[in-house]
Amino acid sequence: TQLLEQSPQFLSIQEGENLTVYCNSSSVFSSLQWYRQEPGEGPVLLVTVVTGGEVKKLKRLTFQFGDARKDSSLHITAAQPGDTGLYLCAGVGGSNYKLTFGKGTLLTVNP
Amino acid sequence: DTGVSQNPRHKITKRGQNVTFRCDPISEHNRLYWYRQTLGQGPEFLTYFQNEAQLEKSRLLSDRFSAERPKGSFSTLEIQRTEQGDSAMYLCASSPGLAGGLAGELFFGEGSRLTVL
């Protein structure tokens, strides 16, 4: 069973601060995705990383895939209240079609 | 709106009753998934269809759960003799598969929240 550990589980910060959340596993993934989920809604895809060491930027969000493709990080610069939500990482492993999700990091950005 | 559609959005039922959820995927997507999510947890994989074929079913699914995808279009998830432990958000997602996009890229519906009293 491929497990993804996300940390921290909860994070509450003030508007304008920077933050990093982590997604770690002992397994290698062929690709890894980050989603954001708001209360009562389904997750929405933010980014997919495929190559070890890959860095992708989405406005104030920077995603990195570890060299060994076992871990990833999400860095948010100058967080805004609209960034509030549950951030989930999900890995595609042995079976190409199946995503395994972590438990998520619940981010609250206070105005 | 051409996204993934799920209904009902909310269902409250008494223990022992049967419930059915429906998912209409994005029309050109041949892959369809069901996940279950409880409070404070990430989505847990339940089952996967490629077109009309159910290719994998999680050990999380007891015999009370059944899913179908007739004609490879919409899908239904039925839970028989519901138990309080079945209370969760049931999420459906679709994917274009390898030909149309990166492997495993999922587009989720808004979910169907089940409460079993």
pLDDT of the residue at B100: 45
Residue A99: per-residue pLDDT? 87
Query: How near does any CA of chain B get to the CA of A15, in Å?
Result: 24
Question: Predicted confidence band at A6 (pLDDT cuts at 50, 70, 90)?
Answer: very high
Distance, CA of B110 to CA of B94 (rounded, Å): 12
Closest by CA to B86, choosing from B109, B45, B115, is B115
Tell me if B93 sits within 8 A of B35, measured CB to CB: yes
> Do A97 and B41 count as a contact with CB atoms less than 8 A apart?
no
Kindly determine whether residue A100 and residue B45, on different chains, have CB atoms separated by under 8 Å.
Answer: yes
The predicted pLDDT at position B1 comes to: 56
Least confident residue range of A81-85, A97-101, B30-34: A97-101
Query: Contact B114/B13 with Cβ under 8 angstroms?
Result: yes
pLDDT score recorded for residue B2: 75
Low-confidence ranges of chain B (pLDDT < 50): 100-101
State mean pLDDT over A45-72.
94
Q: Which residue carries 């759960």 as its tokens? A: B65
DSSP string, chain A: ----EEE-SEEEEETT--EEEEEE-SS--SEEEEEEE-TTS--EEEEEE-STT-EEEETTEEEEE-TTSSEEEEEESS--GGG-EEEEEEEE-SSTT-EEE---EEEEEE-
**Is A96 touching B (CB cutoff 8 A)?**
yes
Summary mean pLDDT of chain A: 92
pLDDT of residue B101: 46
Whether A10 shows a pLDDT value over 60: the answer reads yes
Check whether A87 has a pLDDT greater than 90. yes
HSE, CB side, 13 Å, CA atoms: give it for residue B105.
16
Residues pairing with A23 in the sheet: A6, A72
A85 touches chain B (CB under 8 A): no
pLDDT value for A93: 72
pLDDT at position B43: 94
pLDDT band at residue A105 using 50, 70 and 90 as cut-offs = very high
Of the candidates B40, B43, B104, the beta carbon closest to that of A96 is on B104
User: What are the pLDDT digits (tens) for A11-50?
Assistant: 999 999 999 999 999 888 888 999 999 988 899 999 999 8
Mean pLDDT is lowest, of A66-70, A105-109, B75-79, for A66-70
Give the nearest partner residue to B103 out of A31, A100, A102, using CB atoms.
A31
| B108 neighbourhood in chain A, CB within 8 Å | 35, 42-44
Confidence of residue A2 (pLDDT cuts 50, 70, 90): low
